[in-house]
């Protein structure tokens, strides 16, 4: 499993989180609104793609109404994408290679893109399993 510090770094969290328990507590309290934009900046450099992904996580109207903190449910969705990105980055060690992996259909995901699969918790787990298999030289 990826370290909490690496997930927090993708989200641009101002404070250091040292454990998954601390990350879980932060998500349960609600993450700062800006973590969505910071996470999306890592995931894609294309503004339209970022806008579309953002809309899948939180409706634009709802996002505008949020003052400073996301709800726990919204925070979970953002953390999930940050976790998948951090895991992919751990494997590829390059942001462009990580993005290429996330946006390329994968046969083990029924030819869906990992970024699309990661929109659900089960899909994110499948993507993470593929990534860890790649990391450790297992069939992926």
Q: Please calculate the CA angle 70-73-78 and round it to the nearest 5 degrees.
A: 70
Please check whether residue 75 lies inside any domain of the structure.
Answer: yes
pTM of the model: 0.93
Q: What is the pLDDT of residue 140?
A: 59
User: Count of domains in the chain?
Assistant: 1
b (16+ CB within 10 A) / e for 85-111 = bbbbbebbeeeeebbebbeeebeebee
In a domain, 68, yes or no: yes
Is 47 within the bounds of a domain? yes
140, part of any domain? no
**Interval 24-45: pLDDT, tens:** 999 999 999 999 999 999 999 9
Low-confidence residues in the chain, pLDDT < 70: 14, 139-140
- pLDDT given for residue 18 in this prediction: 83
Range of the domain at 22: 4-135
Given a contact cutoff of 8 angstroms between Cβ atoms, the answer to whether 60 and 54 are in contact is yes
pLDDT of residue 66: 86
């Amino acid at each position: 499993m990826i370290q909490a510090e690496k997930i927090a770094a993708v989200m641009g969290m101002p404070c250091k989180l040292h454990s998954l328990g601390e990350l879980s507590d932060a998500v349960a309290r609600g993450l700062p609104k800006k973590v969505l934009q910071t996470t999306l900046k890592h995931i894609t450099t294309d503004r339209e793609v970022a806008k579309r992904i953002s809309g899948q996580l939180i409706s634009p109207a709802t996002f505008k109404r949020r003052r400073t903190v996301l709800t726990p449910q919204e925070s979970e969705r953002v953390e999930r994408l940050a976790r998948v990105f951090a895991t992919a980055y751990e494997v590829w060690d390059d942001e462009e290679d990580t993005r290429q992996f996330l946006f390329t259909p994968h046969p083990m995901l029924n030819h869906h893109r990992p970024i699309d699969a990661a929109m659900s918790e089960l899909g994110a787990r499948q993507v993470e399993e593929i990534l860890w298999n790649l990391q450790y030289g297992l069939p992926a």
